Structure 1
């Protein structure tokens, strides 16, 4: 798709959808336990900024695109870098918390990105995630598989049929808690939220 379509049509529509009050509520719930040194992958338009707990005053943020305009929360300082989550330029065990919201769906090599997340987390560090992916309904999952190539094209690389929990488990992280729910459109609206910990001695 053209840059015009991505910047003028898709991104504004996505921000409106993922910035709704209902989704912001899910973000706040997901991020309520974030602590310490924080890395957010797929920063996008900064929709998480208003959803971090009050004690968060700074975050590191990465995205593959230049920083877009966002409604900055004055209390949070953002150290932004253009960087792929598949190749994070941070030392091992750098962060207490890594945040991913609606990002794992669009990373080309999501397995590599999750292994990088596990690498840069400190022992006992936590991945906090809010993602969408493969439905528990077999019928909807079949439709997701069938329609994913078209959806991927129209949604600028987003995939609707990734098994998020399985991918996280395969990265070596241990799921602590998670919720699954249908929200909005059946094809793209099966949401996963929760946290996964990096086992090991701190």
Structure 2
């Protein structure tokens, strides 16, 4: 597996949430990552982890991570454990920290957002977070309910309010041109 900057951030973000929230299972983790990526995109025009989210019945799901959790890649070893655990409601895939979080992969803005989300949802159960992602006019709702595109990808641009779309699109385009201009050959 090719390890890139987004992948490092993904592994470390999962480690952060595992270390700083309670009852972290697969569904709660997916919602935290979704909030991290979509809130950061709304403010900056780029996601933190590079994941793509799809409109599934219980909310946004990063399908590539969902698929990977049945056989996690080697870069999770020694950092995060994914284990089936019995609860009163049945079985859940619990996420447990195995290492210390490395903040060096993140910007100050990203670190503030990680902390905000972990604090806000520290004790939340997955069911409450599912409701939070289903709010009207939010990205999941637009794809799943309004557009009736169940199981389809949720565009990051849906995180941006209508009046901000043009301005943010211009900023994103300028950033991409800048990166392309100064990309090492």
TM-score in same-fold range (> 0.5): no
Scaled by the length of structure 1, the TM-score of the pair is 0.25
Richer in helix (by share): 2
Which of 1 and 2 has greater Rg? 2
Compare the two structures and name the one with the higher strand fraction.
Answer: 1
Q: Which has the higher contact order (CA 8 A, sep 6+)?
A: 2
